[in-house]
Amino acid sequence: MLELVLESQGNILGIKVRKNMSKRDYADVLLPHLDWIVQEHGKARLLFSMEGAVQELETDSPWLPERFGAAHKDQIEKLTVAGAAPWDEWCLKIGEVLSGPPVSVFAPGKWEQAWDWITS
């Protein structure tokens, strides 16, 4: 389940993830907001906070690093995750696919530091 962070503004989109990241979350929550940001600002800065035990991704998930990175290669200006393994690796793998924008990983509970980084 995705929850948009109220402090999200301009080209910055903060997302808190609880339990899972479904295809429906991708289509109904992420895409409309990301599309709007890209239309208005050209590129987006994304911050994911992985809260609690987030389930592994399904094999056909649009959230898989290869798929997510390829689909949004020209839309992401900066990307970060506040969360433990395997989500730190998820973020870094997306960064490899994006090959350009800065990518950073923060430990679980380091939301404020991640927010400072994504907004700087």
pLDDT of residue 18: 86
pLDDT of residue 19: 84
| Residue 42, Ramachandran bin (φ over 0: left; ψ between -120 and 50: alpha; else beta) | left
How far CA 81 is from CA of 39, 40, 105, 111, in Å, comes to 24, 24, 5, 9
What integer is the mean pLDDT of 82-109?
Answer: 91
Q: Lowest-pLDDT range, 27-31, 50-54, 85-89?
A: 50-54
Domain range annotation of the chain: 2-119
State the Cα–Cα distance between residues 27 and 31, nearest whole angstrom.
5
Predicted model pTM: 0.93
pLDDT, mean over the chain: 92
Distance of CA 112 to the CA centre of its chain: 16
User: For residue range 31-77, what is the model confidence (pLDDT) as tens digits?
Assistant: 999 999 999 999 999 999 987 777 888 889 999 999 999 999 999 99
CATH 3.40.50 fits 2-119, yes or no: yes
State the Cα–Cα distance between residues 90 and 69, nearest whole angstrom.
10
Q: How confident is the model at residue 109 (pLDDT cuts 50, 70, 90)?
A: confident
